[in-house]
Amino acid sequence: MQVLHGVNLGGWLLLERWMTPSLFAGTDAKDEFSFMGAPGAAMKLEEHRRSWITEGDFRWLAANGINAVRIPVGYWVLEGEAPFVGARAHLDWAMDTAAKYGLQVVLDVHGLQGSQNGRDHSGRVGKANWFRRRRNRVESLKSVEQIAKRYRDYPNLWGYQVINEPKLGLFHFKLRKFYHDAFERLRTILRPHTRFVYSDAFTPRLMSWVLPRAKDAVVMDVHLYHMATIGATYRPLQWYWSKMQRRRRVLQRLSQRHPLIIGEWSGVISGETMRSVPQSEHKELFRRYVQEQLRQYEEHAGWFYWSYKTEKPGQWNFRSMVEAGLIELPKLGPGA
């Protein structure tokens, strides 16, 4: 199995203000839900969807060593649900264009009914009502099933992810039931080439046993943002390298149960830590940090940098880092 070298098409079909601040200019909206209440929002959103990702972006990705994209969408992507506006035509186009340029796709339901984490990247900031109300989880099953039915026949649909970053929990009985219910529904819908992808909910050891072994049909998604770890803000640089090595051993053990993708990661190091390093060394430090992560993630089914681009260049903007010569991709090859 070829390792996926991918990027997330973040901030496109599900908005995040920090990624595209000019789109939110003149509003106090903090997420897509509140943005849609601003004057002219529907027209602005359509123009953003039309222009943020174009065929030229897919062409660039294919020409620069990328063979896969992870596409975050909201549950409303097909039909919309006020105030959200559907994006079916744009997602259809993305699937077709990815296929044209030989790119595999992980279709990621990034926002579910009621919000699974209360974060802006779920579509609505606030309470995680996906967990509070059973109706939201029932409706989510219907939504992920409808989306799967529409895109199941695409030969480049490598994986289908039914939830992104659910809020942290200890036992997660509701989430476990959702995974089981979704898996039972989708295994009769998805074609054999498409993997069922589920989030580790930031507790990979606990969640690795949620679903039965199913050869390569089930894949666990792990997100690795080292600088987001509790206490990481003031850690010395050596801590990052030690953390990577510890996590590497954990991931190697977990991959014996199900294949893994690192669905989100970046080369960002805490600002406090970076201030301890001379400015002249920042670029080389970023380059080494990314290269070490890439070396480790090559041991798994695939990885996806967050994100392909943001409005401004920088460490969250994969394309700008590649063009600056600070990210060098490994050659495409079979998985370990």
* Concatenated DSSP letters of 176-217: HHHHHHHHHHHTTTS-TTSEEEEE-TT-HHHHTTSS--BTBS
* pLDDT band at 335; cut points 50, 70, 90: very low
Residue 186: closest CA among 226, 225, 220, 217:
217
Pinpoint the alpha helices (H) of 4-125.
21-24, 32-35, 41-52, 55-63, 88-100
CA distance 81 to 85: 6
What percentage of the chain reaches a pLDDT higher than 70? 99
* pLDDT band at 336; cut points 50, 70, 90: very low
Tell me phi and psi for residue 69, to 5 degrees: -130, 145
pLDDT at 194 over 80: yes
* pLDDT band at 213; cut points 50, 70, 90: confident
Mean pLDDT of 321-327: 97
The structure's pTM equals: 0.96
Mean pLDDT of 240-260: 95
Check residue 333 and give its pLDDT: 54
pLDDT digits (tens, 9 = 90+) for 262-310: 999 999 999 899 999 999 999 999 999 999 999 999 999 999 999 999 9
Compute how many other C-beta atoms are within 10 angstroms of the C-beta atom of residue 324. 14
What is the residue type of 21?
A: P
pLDDT digits (tens, 9 = 90+) for 16-52: 999 999 999 999 999 999 999 999 999 999 999 999 9
Mean pLDDT of 61-67: 97
Cα 176 to the center of its chain, rounded Å:
20
Delimit the domains of the chain by residue range: 4-11+49-323
pLDDT at 143 over 90: yes
* pLDDT band at 67; cut points 50, 70, 90: very high
* pLDDT band at 332; cut points 50, 70, 90: low
Residue 306: closest CA among 221, 215, 217:
221
Give yes or no for a cis peptide into 307 (omega within 30° of 0): yes
pLDDT digits (tens, 9 = 90+) for 154-182: 999 999 999 999 998 888 999 999 999 99
Beta-bridge partners for 237? none
Please, are residues 152 and 105 in contact by the beta-carbon 8 Å criterion?
no
CATH of domain 4-11+49-323: 3.20.20.80
Beta-bridge partners for 183? none
Q: Which of 71-85, 136-150, 236-250 has the lowest mean pLDDT?
A: 236-250
Provide the mean pLDDT of the chain.
95
What separation in angstroms does the CA of 327 have from each of 11, 40, 128? 21, 38, 36
Please, are residues 14 and 110 in contact by the beta-carbon 8 Å criterion?
yes
Backbone Cα Rg of the chain: 19
Check residue 234 and give its pLDDT: 84
CA distance 251 to 262: 10
